[in-house]
Chain A
Amino acid sequence: MPNAIPEDSVGIVEPQIAHFDTPLELTCGRTLDSYQLIYETYGTLNADRSNAVLICHALSGTHHAAGYHSADDRKPGWWDAYIGPGKCIDTNRFYVVCLNNLGGCSGSTGPTSIDPATGKTYGPDFPVMTVTDWVNSQIRLGDYLGIHTWAAIVGGSLGGMQALQWSINYPDRMRNTVVIAAAPRLSAQNIAFNEVARQAIMSDPEFHDGRYADHGTIPRHGLRLARMVGHITYLSEHSMGDKFGRDLRTDKINFGYDVEFQVESYLRYQGDTFSESFDANTYLLMTKALDYFDPAARYDGDLSKALGQAKSNFLLVSFSTDWRFAPSRSEEIVDALTEAGRHVSYACIESPHGHDAFLIPNERYEAVFSAFMDRAANEAEQQKACEKGETACT
């Protein structure tokens, strides 16, 4: 962290844990009898509880979306650029909640947790989660926090898919949906990349069919490779070229297989850090949740029929150089929403940063996002005024 916490930061935050003992029925047919969710909150919940915003995280995200855990942290939460006082998701106006999803490895119940039935870690026996399961668990977190109707459900990438599922499954419990750099379902190419990542993990000799914890090891190499492949899909050819070009680490090529190009060194570094901090079974589970996501499936494959259930206002955002979930994928959602006659606005943001652009500061992205969130905040305040009888309810 810098010497002082920036003024537009939510500051030092502390994660909290909510325990649930009501069994959660999962899409796969199994049930989680009890579980916990770790979450953080920023800002203040207003008296009529109308200003709550839920942030849904992406593949390797956590509940730590903004602020710092301690004054010694080098980096803030993963979406700090967009959450804070005066930022797009303005914590002076909104009460922001971000949780670690079930099956995660940052504190919510997942493969690294102890299975009460066996007294050992779940490991590969943790049920495979779907986006719908996550949304169902998030509803319960809302109930726990006393939030019936969320002002907005917001997410990028896999997080955007959760927001989309929310809008279909719980139309009466939210007023706005923000879906950023997402897709209505994965393409064959998307699934193929996920499969390469899974094979990298599962073919690591240290994987032990997912029971690596019992062997006191982790499939480090597999995870590293999975992250390297994933990372390539998060960047654009242009941003990689810009960042590394064909730069060498030393001043000449060595005709060998050690790290020579800067991009190799970068990928190895990314892979190394990730493999030490992320759980392999969680990675497998998250990629499966992505592969299975297809909200139209229950509606004869008709996305506009699925989104016909929704009642919220939508903001869809895509990025020009994102090839993981290209603008055309967001446009499929936009078209389904217009066909269903829902309120939707859409912007395709010019950015060189590929899929990762949704995390990176960008003037136009901020302008569009702020304009939408400001309206959501105004709505929440009008709601309050109307319930108090100060203004007419519309």
Chain B
Amino acid sequence: MVKILHAKEVSFIWDILNEIPDPEIPVISLVELGVVRGVEWVDTQLQITITPTYSGCPAMRMMEMDIEQSLRKEGITDFKIAMQYHPAWTTDWMSEATKSKLKTYGIAPPQAHTKQRIGVLISDAPTEVACPQCNSVNTKLISEFGSTACKSLMKCNDCLEAFDYFKCI
């Protein structure tokens, strides 16, 4: 009986977390981003496990605070947020639905790892990224570093719009 009650509560918590938007890309939630790795009971305390996207992402603190506030708003006060490093966060965790939300928002979604070589040579930089405005793959990389740690700055050679590309890591 106790276990069933807990299982219900856990799915309720997931629902709350799935409503929390990413502080920098508000069209996707922390769950869709892949930051929330687990919700479980450790003895009598609820534990939310999260993983960092980028080591130095300034939004991580914000995400923790948002989780804390959302849970407190629902009357949940006894919980712990734990940080987990393994397995390391990857953009491969994003679903196709999440990627299409990014695209609609104007951010080119990350390519799958299998489609992109990840290496240290210049030729390993992203190629064939489709422009989120006109879908042309005739695009070029302006800078591997963009408005946030997770994005590169690209430009479409056809519609001439500059756009953000969610880096594949």
The yes or no verdict on A and B being binding partners is no
